Amino acid sequence: MTTSLTQAARTLADRPVIATVATVDAEGRPQLTPVWIDRDGDDLVFNTAKGRAKQANLDRDPHVAVAVVDPDDAYNVLVVRGTVERSEEGADAHIDALAHKYLGVDSYPMRQPGEVRVKYRVRTDRVVMQPADEA
């Protein structure tokens, strides 16, 4: 079982590609959410606002799966399964960094008054890269 990202996985995660995060809702049903992602070493990192469904789901159950599909090659796919670590510290700066990566702006333009941002770091249990590549 692989728990670290290969070079191809890092390259894909570093691009401004929309990822899909799978969480489990209060009734035990899967919920999928498109998100912006970042990478810190072998950890994927994403961000949300307090009060959203994925925040409630992850606070209740930290298990997550993240899928990233290359928009230029639908057969170049990264899937990571693991658990998240939650932090509000640095979450505002992180969403601004994501806005720069995805929109080319210095500040997240969709921030709402009073919004509290939450940053999630995925601690990987399993990595699957299609096609498989060398570490």
Q: What is the pLDDT of residues 67-122, one digit of tens each?
A: 999 999 999 999 999 999 999 999 999 999 999 999 999 999 999 999 999 999 99
The dihedral over CA atoms of 16, 109, 45, 69, expressed in degrees to the nearest 10, equals: -30
pLDDT over 60 (residue 3) = yes
Distance CA 6, CA 120 (A): 21
pTM: 0.91
User: Is pLDDT above 60 for 135?
Assistant: no
Mean pLDDT, range 9-22, rounded to an integer: 97
Enter the CATH code of domain 7-130: 2.30.110.10
